[in-house]
Amino acid sequence: MYIFTSHSGIHARPGTVLVGAVKAVTSEVFIEYKDKQVNLKSIMGVMSLGIPEGAQVKVIAKGDDEEEVLKCVNQVMQTEGLGE
């Protein structure tokens, strides 16, 4: 579970970085917000969630490299100052 602390939530630039971080993994990766789940490898899907500051989201990975996926997401969240 992550809480977005970025004042602008998820917008195009950090969204693109987050999607790019998981694009090469083989696992299926989803982000969930307000009971809606979208493919985290799709910038359009991520942007469609309209994730604001203070939102709680869940990242779900299913596949052989699940641990790598979560490490990538954690790193992006920290380096981009998106949340915790």
- Annotated catalytic residues are 11
In three-state secondary structure terms, 44 is: helix
**In terms of DSSP bridges, do strands 56-62 and 2-3 run parallel, antiparallel, or are they unpaired?**
antiparallel
In three-state secondary structure terms, 37 is: strand
